Amino acid sequence: MKVQMISRNPDDYVRETNKEHHRIPRNYDPALHPMEAAREYVRALNATKLERVFAKPFVSNLSGHRDGVSCFGKHPKRLSTLTSGSYDGEIRIWDLANRESLRCFVAHEGFIRGICYSTNGERLFTVGDDKLIKVWSSNAPDINEDEQPINTILSRTIITSISHNRKQAVFATCGEVCSIWDENRNDPVKVLKWGVDTLHAVAFNPVETSILSCCASDRSIILYDQRESVPLRKIILSMKSNKLCWNPMEAFNFTVANEDCNLYTFDTRRLRNPLKIHFDHVAAVTDVDYSPTGKEFVSASYDKTVRIYNTHYSHSRDVYHTKRMQHVVCVAWSQDNRYIYSGSDEMNIRIWKAKASEKLGITQPRERMNFNYQEALKEKYAAHPQIKRIARHRQVPRHVLNSQKKMRTTKDKELRKEANVRKHSKPNSVPFVSEKRKTIIKEEI
């Protein structure tokens, strides 16, 4: 007679001490798990719902400015240091870890137009409406000493923006012309111009450090090479661009914030068409900044919202807003890829989480494994209608919602009119023009 019996070894499932985790037997054969997809779908749905439940992006508010915040400067070596400038010429240096102001001094008469640090972070450069370039020490003065600049340079023209080279002791300013300066000289090393009245934003490429670009008042974007004596190329858009930011991981890509409520990502190798148009804002976009990974960027707008975009998608991943926040003028992404800073007209600086539902503080290894597992499930089932609906739903202010409806109605009307004209015209007499081609008016070399 054949007898079958169950034999269990206690060493396989009994804990030696009560501090160990329970041992759970697992069978990795997919043929023996017919309900695996159903279980994973439920887990992905629950993870998506919990993500929206714990989505609380607002971290803190930094108050102290007596006028609107106009620009930011990020320290290249210290994650906890942020410098801000305001409309009344005041500079404040913040300790983000303790959320307090370390230094406060009046640097210029009128607006602070730009702030940047030197490559090693020891010097701070500021420009304002008074045509002055001031160099400050990044270290606070002694107790009985006043705040005095290390050097003051008087420019011959109005200066509207400043950007520092990432590797060399060189910085660029723009205004009536684009000027290249050496830190150790009081006169510009090189002056570049291309028949434009005003340049209002300049940015050095963080990878190809000899390349820089400017946004001009004639709706153009101009590319320069500091090794050359003349500008390289220029493209003219349908509306003016307010700010420009280079991708820190892809040397040839940059994104501009435009007055027509959109952002445009360009490839310098083929400027005739933008790589991607980023929608969703309902007012002029005032500032843009990339994350250190180069995969995402954040934008600020006059519609009182901050939006986060993936570089390869046209619509925003997330939108941040508060009841008290007014026109957002400047925005910055922290060097550790975890926080976003926004400055607005009502004199406040706000700190946001880059991922709205991310847990702040210490994360245990098992907790981190669970988060990674949930992220993998959400990515696997992202195209499912129910999960997609929950993941993309956002509450926006009423004025933004109404403006979105008006813009959608206007766009539908234009498309319908164009379709009717094409329908009642001769074949091929009304060509199809893509949205990307409508943006660029012409390219000059």
Q: What is the pLDDT of residue 32?
A: 82
Residue 354: strand, helix, or coil: coil
Q: What is the pLDDT of residue 229?
A: 81
Question: How many other CB atoms sit within 10 Å of the CB of residue 344?
Answer: 23
Of 180 and 21, the structure prediction assigns the larger pLDDT to 180
Q: Write out the E strands in 328-429.
A: 328-333, 339-344, 348-353
Residues in the chain: 445
Does residue 150 lie within any of the structural domains?
A: yes
Q: Alpha-carbon torsion 138, 142, 144, 148, what sign?
A: negative
Q: Which residues pair with 236 in a beta bridge?
A: 220, 442
Q: What is the pLDDT of residue 231?
A: 84
Q: Which residues pair with 287 in a beta bridge?
A: 300
Q: Does the structure show a pLDDT above 80 at 1?
A: no
Tokens representing residue 96 in the block:
């983000």
Does residue 13 lie within any of the structural domains?
A: no
pLDDT tens readout for residues 103-115: 999 999 989 999 9
Tokens representing residue 211 in the block:
């390349």
Q: Which residues pair with 32 in a beta bridge?
A: none
Does residue 223 lie within any of the structural domains?
A: yes
As for how many domains the chain has, the answer is 1
Does residue 39 lie within any of the structural domains?
A: no
Lowest average pLDDT, out of 126-130, 309-313, 428-432, goes to 428-432
Q: What is the pLDDT of residue 431?
A: 87
Q: Does the structure show a pLDDT above 90 at 2?
A: no
Tokens representing residue 114 in the block:
């730009």
What long-range pairs does 190-193 form, CB within 8 A, spacing at least 24? 190/226, 190/229, 192/224, 192/229, 192/230, 192/231, 193/231
Q: Which residues pair with 94 in a beta bridge?
A: 82, 101
Residue 296: strand, helix, or coil: strand
Q: What is the pLDDT of residue 31?
A: 82
CATH of the domain at 300: 2.130.10.10
Does residue 219 lie within any of the structural domains?
A: yes
Tell me the chain's radius of gyration from C-alpha atoms: 27
Helix 385-392 × helix 36-53 angle, to 10°: 10
Does residue 401 lie within any of the structural domains?
A: no
315 touches 287 (CB < 8 A): no
Domain that holds residue 246: 57-351
Task: Give the span between the Cα atoms of 320 and 308, in whole angstroms.
Answer: 8
69 touches 331 (CB < 8 A): no
Banded model confidence at residue 316, pLDDT cuts 50, 70, 90: very high
Banded model confidence at residue 199, pLDDT cuts 50, 70, 90: very high
What is the pLDDT averaged over residues 49-72? 94
Banded model confidence at residue 62, pLDDT cuts 50, 70, 90: very high
379 touches 387 (CB < 8 A): no
Pairing outcome for strands 170-175 and 253-258: unpaired
Number of helical H runs and strand E runs in the chain? 5, 29
Does residue 224 lie within any of the structural domains?
A: yes
How far is it between the farthest Cα atoms of the chain? 107
Q: What is the pLDDT of residue 333?
A: 97
Residue 367: strand, helix, or coil: helix
Residues 6+ apart with CB under 8 A from 382: 388, 391
159 touches 113 (CB < 8 A): yes
Q: Does the structure show a pLDDT above 90 at 136?
A: yes
Q: What is the pLDDT of residue 382?
A: 95
Q: What is the pLDDT of residue 440?
A: 82
Task: Give the span between the Cα atoms of 278 and 276, in whole angstroms.
Answer: 6
Task: Give the span between the Cα atoms of 47 and 356, in whole angstroms.
Answer: 14
Q: Mean pLDDT in the chain?
A: 92
Does residue 88 lie within any of the structural domains?
A: yes
- The separation between CA 372 and the C-alpha centre of its own chain, rounded to angstroms, equals 24
pLDDT tens readout for residues 71-90: 999 999 999 999 999 999 99
Q: Does the structure show a pLDDT above 80 at 25?
A: no
Residue 236: strand, helix, or coil: strand
